[in-house]
Structure 1
Amino acid sequence: MPLVITALGILLLLFLIMKCRLHTVISLAVVSFLVAIALGVQLTDVVDSVEAGFGDTLGSTGLIFGFGAILGKLIADAGGAQRIAITLIDKFGEKSIQWAVVTTAFILGIALFFEVGLVLLIPIVYQMAKQAKISFLYLGLPMVTALSVTHAFLPPHPGPTVISEQFGANIGMVLLYGFIIAIPTVIIAGPIFTVFAAKFVPSAFRGENKGIITNLSDTEQKKLEDTPGFGISAFTALFPVILMSLSTIISLLQESFNIPANVFFDFVTMIGSPTTVMLLSVLLAIYTMGIARNIPMRQLMNSAETSVKAIGMLLLILGVSGSLKEVLIEGGVGDYVAAIFEGSAISPLLLAWLIAAVIRLAQGSATVSALTTAGLVLPLMEGTDVNLALMVLATGAGSIIASHVNDTGFWIVKESFGLSIKETFCTWTVLETIISISGLLFVLLLSVFV
């Protein structure tokens, strides 16, 4: 019944949004309440679950998106994004622009959380598409592919790092095998899939519908000599990457040399958190893109206020999508799926992927599906010689399959690119499924040799 209730809830949500034209926020809230009641959540706890999901989601993403929108707006208004876009196009050429975006997103994605990478890169990639006179989604899909793959397979991202600890896998081997799997997966799900997606969903590639973040990036074109230099523009845009990378390196060195925690490492941890990183980056941008160019503070703050107002509805959508995810978790959907696979005799690698995939489909959270899977398959691994690093990667691959309406990432992509529900399913959901299946196939292929 939990799976049937979940399926009916998803169908109701699609009906309310697509047929009744009810706003996404209201539809998500209605379905969250109904699904919670149907799953047997105590009536006195329903509101708490909805509010907890809303608060947890905005607590982890709200400030990141808020500061990210301000950062992107400041860089765009100053002409920094335009300067970066023109320079990259001149450097790589228009024919290779898609590969330039994929490579950049992959490198940055190693250090950045998915949400941070998205709000950081969208203004720049949008300007690149505008300068090259091509569809924004033609560059946008490969960009989100690279960010998603690094998020799923490569430490120090939370998923693969935590699962590695659960399985007792060597984090260095996870990183090595992760790179081997990630590179061909990005190529398949990114540039190659984009060609097919453009044929099957042409409406998504016409560039008529712009998302919230792209609207912030669509500023008046300046003369190149009136824009900031490429060096300072790139440094401002990449400052979050620099801070996060330094924090990660210092933390890894601390773990490698077993250095006890102290005030310095606590400070590094605080500075390296996404929220702190984005706040410091905004402060830097206020100076480099504003004060240093003699732009009045009032004008800078007007840009900041405009950007935050523009993403207000996006934040509400993200928060309420977190409510739906929370009631599915509270309703025991993940536990029910886990019970189905208890005592299974399938290969540990395939089983880890399958359990993670089904839990992901049922309740939406990649992190929850990965951690639940780790707890389930640990006993099944005893007495086998399965490669622990590959188990981590198989679990990570399963945990990101078929992102849909119960996943916050689905709504982030939909609103960021200005897509309809159908277009998001045909692009983002399919893309995530390709990443998941490709990841599994490469894991199984690699298991023959290691």
Structure 2
Amino acid sequence: MPLVVVGISVLVLLLLMTRVRLNGFAALLLVAVAVAVVQGIPVMDIPDVLSEGIGGQIGDTMLTIGLGAMVGRVMGDSGAAQRIAGKILDSFGPRWVQVAMVVTSMLIGVTMFYEVAFIIIVPIAFTLVRVTGANLLWVGLPMSIALSTMHSFLPPHPGPTAVAATFHASVGLTLFYGLFIAIPAGALVALLWPRLPFIRAMHPSIPKGLVSEREFTDEEMPGLGWSLFVALFPVVLIAGAAVTDMAVSGDSPVLHTIAFLGSAPIALLLTLLLAIWAFGPRIGRSLTEVSSSCTSAAQAMAMILLVIGAGGAFKNVLVEGGISDYIKDVTHGWSISPIILAWLIAVILRVALGSATVAVVTASGVVLPLLAGSGTSPEMMVLAVSCGSIAFSHVNDPGFWLFKEYFNLSVIQAIKVRTSYTTVLSVLGLGGVLAAEWAVGVLGL
């Protein structure tokens, strides 16, 4: 019954947004309330459940998305984004711009959350689209697919790291094995998907307010050195903190300071301050002009944040409604390969709840008892659960709404694009894990 409720709620949400044309924020909240009532959540508790879901989601994303959007707009309005985009075109050429986006996204995405890396790179993608006249999805989709792969498959991202702790797996070895799966799978899908006919038939426009529409002359743009320095500054801080956390154990003020500076909100806040100076007074632009760029970015982000928050409310209602416990009971005692079982449970939870983190944590708890006597590598089990958690991203996933809004797609279009590519990545990931397990067994690693 709970899974039927999930299915019906998704269909109703799609109907409200496509046929009735109801605003996404209102539609998500309306469906969330209905699901809460059907699942037996006390009426007096529903407002708190909704608020908790919105607060948890916005708390995780508002600072990252808001600060990142401001950095991107400041860089765009100063010409810095165009300078970087021009360098990419000069280095790779228009024909290889997708390869450039995949390489950049994978390098940055190894240590950075999907949302953070997305917000940092997307202004460059928008500028490339404007300069080259290419389809937005032709340039932006490879970036998103590469980032999704890195975020979902590999530690030190939160899902895989949490599962590694549950299974007592080596984070370093999990990352080592995972790279051999994530890089070919991510690159294959990233380069293939924009070429599919149903993707090429879509022609979304860049959302207004998120990127400068002005085309700068070479003399007006800041230098490449400063442009790259500001763009990579948060990457260095966040990646440095992640690598330090993996390589160094202990409890000292220095490590706490590194972790503080490497947290996404602080790293992006420092980057914004740097960008305001580097692309403001340093090159003769007034602080009033730079402040106007920040205000424009914030206004453009308002509805995006509301929709993402409502997605968090919908997700929380499903979690509080006991759907994860129901899935635990249903899958208990299934007699199949531990790796396939781990992947399958993560997929079911991902479809039902939307949250990849909830899916991997719950799935790891379900399959943990099977690990001891199975002889399966704990690192492979981590990768199996992580791969399962990326599948079927749809309307109960807040990341789905970030993707939809930034690429200016309809709900149906976003399902066709994002739901399909996340599912294919998940299946390829499972195949890669099974192949890696066989190879490790044969080679005796």
Q: TM-score, normalised by structure 2?
A: 0.97
Distance 1:401 1:322 in 2: 18
Aligned to 1:5: 5
Q: Hey, what's the Cα distance between the residues in 1 that align with 2:324 and 2:212?
A: 42
Deviation at 1:311, TM superposition (A): 0.6
Which of the numbers 208, 222, 228 marks the counterpart of 1:228? 222
Aligned: 1:438 with 2:434 = no
Matched residue, 2:172: 172
- Structure 2: state its 5+ residue gaps: 441-445
Identify the residue that residue 236 of structure 2 maps to in structure 1.
Answer: 242
Asked if 2 retains the 8 angstrom alpha-carbon contact of 1:50 and 1:326, the reply is yes
In the alignment, structure 1 segments of 5+ residues that lack a partner are none
- In the TM superposition, residue 231 of structure 1 has moved relative to its aligned partner by 1.2
Runs of 4+ in 1 over 6 A off after TM superposition: none
Instruction: Check if 1:359 corresponds to 2:349.
Output: yes
Deviations 1:170-202 (A, max 9, x none): 111101111000111112221012211xx1144
8 Å contact from structure 1 (residues 338, 359) kept in 2: no
Deviation at 1:75, TM superposition (A): 0.2
Residue identity opposite 2:118 in structure 1: L
Give a deviation string over 1:251-287, Cα, whole Å, max 9, x none.
22322xxx3x122222221111111111111001001
Show CA shifts across 1:412-435 (max 9, x none). Answer: 000000001111011111010011
205, 210, 216: which one aligns with 2:206 = 210
Q: Please name the residue that 2:443 is paired with.
A: none
Whole-Å separation in 2 of the counterparts to 1:71 and 1:219:
16
1:29 aligns to what? Answer: 29
Q: How does 1:131-210 map to 2 (within 5 A)?
A: 131-196=131-196, 199-204=197-202, 206-207=203-204, 209-210=205-206
Given residue 119 of structure 1, which amino acid in structure 2 is its aligned partner?
Answer: I
**Match for residue 264 of structure 2?**
274
Cα deviation, residue 330, structure 1: 0.1
CA contact (8 A) 1:353 1:398 kept: yes
**Partners of 1:88 and 1:202 in 2: how far apart?**
23
| Aligned residue in 1 for 2:99 | 99
- Report Cα offsets for 1:31-67 as digits up to 9, x if no partner: 0100011011111211110000000000000011110
CA distance in 2 between partners of 1:164 and 1:387 (Å): 11
Alignment partners' CA distance in 1, 2:172 and 2:257: 25
- CA RMSD after TM alignment: 1.1
> What residue is the counterpart of 1:20 in the other structure?
20
Pairing 1:72–2:62 present: no
Q: Hey, what does 1:319 align to over in structure 2?
A: 309
Aligned position for 1:405 = 395
For residues 391 and 71 of structure 2, the distance between their equivalents in structure 1, rounded to whole angstroms, comes to: 31
Question: Identical aligned pairs, as a percentage?
Answer: 37
Question: What whole-Å deviation, never above 9, does each CA across 1:310-349 have from its counterpart, x for those lacking one?
Answer: 1101110011110000000000111111111101111000
Tell me if the contact between 1:216 and 1:307 (Cα under 8 Å) persists in the aligned partners: yes
Structure 2 contact 3–352 (Cα < 8 Å) conserved: yes
Cα offset, 1:239, TM superposition: 0.9
Q: Which residue of 1 aligns with 2:298?
A: 308
Distance 2:243 2:343 in 1: 30
Task: Tell me if 1:117 matches 2:111.
Answer: no
| Secondary structure of the structure 2 residue equivalent to 1:405 | coil
Q: Is the 8 A contact 1:211 1:419 kept in 2?
A: no
SS at match of 2:48: helix
Paired positions, count: 440
Residue from 269, 293, 296 that aligns with 2:286: 296
* Cα distance in structure 2, aligned partners of 1:239 and 1:284: 9
- Contact residue 361 and residue 402 of structure 1 kept, 8 A: yes
AA in 1 matched with 2:219: E
The alignment partner of 2:333 has SS state of coil
Q: Is the CA contact 1:353–1:440 (under 8 Å) kept in the aligned structure 2?
A: yes
**What is the identity, as a one-letter code, of the residue corresponding to 1:219?**
E
